[in-house]
Amino acid sequence: MPLDKYTDCNRKKCFLSMLFITAVFIIAFGWYGNKSIRSHYESLLRCSQKPSIATEDISTRDPLTVVAIGRMLYDKPQTFKPPRSDVLMVTPWLAPIIWNGSYNIDILNAQFHQRNVRVGITVFAIKKYTVFIKTFIETAEQFFMVGHKVNYYVFTDRANEISNFTLSEGRQLVILDVPSYKQWQEVSMRRMEMIRDYAYQRFYKEVDYLVCVDVDMRFNDFVGVEILSDVFGTLHPGFHNAQRGAFTYERRQQSTAYIPRDEGDFYYAGGYFGGTVEEVYKLTNFCHNAMMTDKNNSIEAVWHDESYLNKYFLYHKPTKILSPEYLWVNSMGVPQFLKRRRFLAVPKNHSAIRNKRALQKNPGYQKVEILKLL
Ligand code: 5GW
Ligand code: MN
C-beta of residue 129 within 8 angstroms of C-beta of residue 216:
yes
Q: What is the pLDDT of residue 50?
A: 30
The amino acid sitting at 240 is: H
Domain range list for the chain: 3-48, 97-361
Active-site annotation holds for 306: yes
Instruction: State the angle between helix axes of 305-315 and 184-198 in degrees (0 to 180), rounded to the nearest 10.
Output: 50
Ligand 2 mean position to 43 CA, how many Å? 73
Backbone angles phi, psi at 176, to 5 degrees: -115, 120
**Burial label, 184 (beta-carbon count in 10 A; 0-12, 13-18, 19+):** middle
The CA distance from 225 to 317, in Å, is 20
Strands 118-125 and 268-276: unpaired
**pLDDT (0 to 100) of residue 289:** 98
Q: Measure CA 121 to chain center.
A: 14
Residues contacting ligand 1 via CB (< 6 Å): 123-127, 129, 184, 187-188, 214-216, 271, 354-355, 372
Q: Report yes or no: 137 and 173 within 8 Å, Cβ to Cβ.
A: yes
Give the 3-state secondary structure of residue 265.
coil
Q: What's 272's DSSP letter?
A: E
Helix (H, G, I), strand (E, B) or coil at 230: coil
Q: Which of 187, 268, 367 to mutate to test the pocket of ligand 1 (most atoms within 8 A of CB)?
A: 187
Strands (E), 10-143: 97-98, 118-125
> How far lies 94's CA from each of 65, 79, 320, in Å?
30, 17, 9
> Which DSSP category does 194 fall into?
H
**Alpha carbon distance 240, 323 (integer Å):** 8
> Which residues have CB less than 5 Å away from ligand 2 (the ion)?
214, 216
Query: Who's near 233: CB < 8 A, 6+ residues apart?
Result: 266, 268, 269, 272, 273, 309, 313, 318, 321, 322
Are 370 and 238 within 8 A, CB to CB? no
How does pLDDT run along the chain (374 residues), one tens digit per residue? 444 444 454 555 545 565 566 565 555 554 554 444 343 333 332 223 333 333 344 455 565 555 566 788 999 999 999 999 999 999 999 999 999 999 999 999 999 999 999 999 999 999 999 999 999 999 999 999 999 999 999 999 999 999 999 999 999 999 999 999 999 999 999 999 999 999 999 999 999 999 999 999 999 999 999 999 999 999 999 999 999 999 999 999 999 999 999 999 999 999 999 999 999 999 999 999 999 999 999 999 999 999 999 999 999 999 999 999 999 999 999 999 999 999 999 999 887 887 544 443 333 333 334 334 33
- CATH no. for 97-361: 3.90.550.10
In what side-by-side order are the strands of the sheet with 97-98?
A: 97-98, 320-322, 231-235, 268-276, 209-213, 118-125, 149-156, 171-177
Whole-model pTM?
Answer: 0.80
Q: Please give the full DSSP string across 2-26, using - where no structure is assigned.
A: -HHHHHHHHHHHHHHHHHHHHHHHH
Ligand 1 center–CA 276 separation, angstroms: 24
Residue nearest to atom 19 of ligand 1 (CA): 214
Strand boundaries in the chain, DSSP class E: 97-98, 118-125, 149-156, 171-177, 209-213, 217-219, 231-235, 268-276, 320-322, 343-345
Closest-lying ligand to the alpha carbon of 373?
A: 1
Evaluated on CA atoms 20, 21, 26, 30, the torsion sign reads: positive
Distance (angstroms) between ligand 1 centre and the Cα of 373 equals 12
